[in-house]
Structure 1
Amino acid sequence: MLTILQEEQFEDLYQLIEESFPSDEYRPYQTQRALLSHPNYQIYVYKKDHELAAFFAAWKGPHFIFLEHFAVKASFRNGGLGSKLLQVFLKQQKKPIVLEIEPPEGEIEKRRASFYERNGFILSQWGYFQPALAKEQSPVSLVLMSYPEPLKEQEYQSFKNWVFKHVYS
């Protein structure tokens, strides 16, 4: 069901990233492409009818998996595919999962938080500003969610130190 991204699928992947995320929340094309060779970074894809329908971009941390990006193509949304794929992804992981979302203040952000909560994630009280990923981008306010257990303060500190050193460096 979920397979590892092949390099020839990168164009379709990057198009889905651009369609799914605000520009401040993803890397420029060449920087994103360069991550494909990073040993702790993995992109899992789901194809339906020979089309890239969804993907997960994840980092392997020392004690957790950081789910950096997850998106379902607009034409495949609202049919339960996102929840189904997320459950498959969660079952494949051996470590707790941490992800970032924008603070659930607006309607879209509240719906996103609810989606993850329905799928077993717990909204934490902790967050930070993701640094700008490129010169023309801005920092983004984010809060953390975790699966399957609530994030403890010590785990938050460990995660934050790791993510700023290895992902946002």
Structure 2
Amino acid sequence: MTQQEKFDQVFDLMKVSFPESEYRNYKNQRKLLSDPRYYLLTEENNQGEVIAFLAGWEFADFRYVENIAVSPSIRGGGIGKQLMNRFMRQSTLPIVLEVEDPKDDLQRRRVRFYERLGFCLGEYKYVQPPLREGIPGLPLRIMSYPEKLTASKFEQVKDVLYREVYNVHQVSNSSK
């Protein structure tokens, strides 16, 4: 399978796994592949089709999981855990990811999934900048591994994510 075909399958899985506001359009998502800090881990079935992926970033001081998704027909079978463990083993750097505030059952299950892997739910306010034109920012929480972020470390992580992932340049200020 070519890289283009693999990317197309990842993007199709992204579309069925996330609301449109939580991923870039095709052109902007594909453009990320040319950034050496961005990469995709995939799991394929016996036919070579992508059934799960993890999109991550590697920065100087930490790694960031931007997206992880498993084909809806096989969710709950441990593939997401395998991908996360693979990502976690590839580096000794701390890891961060974004989750929704755990207000409903599905959101709480997602947080518990990451907590079982050793992640800590952060307490600082965080808004994911828009990934598409005309869509508002998304209030989220940061989870971190292997330990909870201090206020100053949270600000450093937020500044890098805003600048490098979301192309937003702003003065940071910490709030709980």
Task: Judge same fold: TM > 0.5, yes or no.
Answer: yes
Partner of 2:58: 60
Partner of 1:35: 32
When residues 136 and 155 of structure 1 are mapped into structure 2, their CA distance, relative to the original with a 3 A threshold, is same
Q: Which runs of 5+ in 2 are unaligned?
A: 168-176
Partner of 2:148: 150
Letter in 2 for 1:149: E
Dislocated runs of 4+, deviation >3 Å = none
User: How far does the alpha carbon of each residue in 1:89-108 deviate from its partner, in whole angstroms, 9 at most, with x for none?
Assistant: 21112211000001111111
Contact 2:65-2:97 at 8 Å conserved across structures: yes
Partner of 1:112: 110
Partner of 2:170: none
Aligned match for 2:21, one of 2, 19, 24: 24
Q: What is the count of residue pairs matched by the alignment?
A: 165
Structure having the larger proportion of residues in strand: 1
Letter in 2 for 1:111: R
Partner of 1:10: 7
Contact 1:23-1:137 at 8 Å conserved across structures: no
Q: Secondary structure at the match of 2:81?
A: helix
Q: Distance in 2 between matches of 1:29 and 1:112?
A: 26
RMSD, aligned CA: 1.4
TM-score between both structures, scaled by the size of structure 1: 0.92
Q: Secondary structure at the match of 1:126?
A: coil
Q: Which runs of 5+ in 1 are unaligned?
A: none
Partner of 1:47: 44
TM-score between both structures, scaled by the size of structure 2: 0.89
Partner of 2:68: 70
Q: Distance in 1 between matches of 2:134 and 2:151?
A: 33
Q: Distance in 2 between matches of 1:65 and 1:127?
A: 20
Q: Distance in 1 between matches of 2:42 and 2:77?
A: 18
Where do residues 116-131 of structure 1 align in structure 2 (5 Å cutoff)? 116-131=114-129
Aligned-pair CA distance for 1:59: 1.1
Q: Secondary structure at the match of 2:143?
A: strand
- Aligned pair 1:94/2:127, yes or no? no
When residues 6 and 127 of structure 1 are mapped into structure 2, their CA distance, relative to the original with a 3 A threshold, is farther
Aligned-pair CA distance for 1:26: 0.5
Fraction of identical pairs, as percent: 39
